Amino acid sequence: MSPVLISPSILSADFANLERELGAIATADWAHVDVMDNHFVPNLTLGLPIVESLVRVSPIPIDCHLMIEDPDRWAPGYAEAGARSVTFHIEAVADAVATARAIRAAGARAAFAVKPETPFAPYEDLLPEVDMVLVMTVEPGFGGQSFMADQMPKVSQVRDAVRRFGGEVWVQVDGGVSASTIEQCADAGADVFVAGSAVYGAESASAAIEQLRALATAHTHR
Ligand SMILES: O=C(CO)[C@@H](O)[C@H](O)COP(=O)(O)O
């Protein structure tokens, strides 16, 4: 397996043609699906029935990022729907351990996300319960925002904690990731890269994916 994973965000895709848009990123590792409820974030996207349909038609695994309230209740359903990984926000969850275990029991990889203002250190003890930590590099809610380079120390902090833990836990970054920002993410220790506008805004999505993969691979320290 490649030491890095590229996960294009379909938030920047044409929502009227999602099957075709998933086909356009078939050379990526995962397809990142942002579920937003207009409460946890000020935007509304899609929910469980659409994710079930996307799982059916996607040529690559679905990487589901839940930006919703009450993930304790909803997250396992996305795993049961066939998402390969399900990420909940640590700011929204009541019982992170129970939710992560329910996601894993339903057959998906479990992850938690931290918003830019949220520190990682208080949650380091959760590493044995998850397969990935997502460090947001924009405020969650919208695609096309500017990359927050000030989150790179947090990415390094997560990578150091994963090394101390010794298990296999991916470190994902999401927001403003592009050919001009991905190297610093990889240098900081990220190995899973979400990119929306940089992929769907490119003339060729597959060429953009290859460029991102090559840049990240050249800078990974794994
Ligand atoms: O979760 C989110 C936004 O909240 C992301 O997944 C965006 O969809 C990334 O888009 P770009 O910043 O890459 O355009």
Pocket of ligand 1 (CB under 6 A): 9, 11-12, 32, 34, 65, 138, 140-145, 174-177, 194-198
What is the position in ligand 1's atom list of the atom closest to the CA of 177? 13
* Closest residue by CA, ligand 1 atom 8: 143
Res. 104 pLDDT band, cuts 50 70 90: very high
pLDDT at 221 over 80: no
Measured CA to CA, the distance from residue 23 to residue 59 in angstroms comes to 7
DSSP single-letter state for residue 21: H
pLDDT (tens digit per residue) in 29-51: 999 999 999 999 999 999 999 99
Q: Is the ipTM of this complex over 0.85?
A: yes
Which class is domain 5-219? alpha beta
What is the position in ligand 1's atom list of the atom closest to the CA of 139? 4
Measured CA to CA, the distance from residue 213 to residue 29 in angstroms comes to 10
* Closest residue by CA, ligand 1 atom 7: 143
pLDDT (tens digit per residue) in 196-214: 999 999 999 999 999 999 9
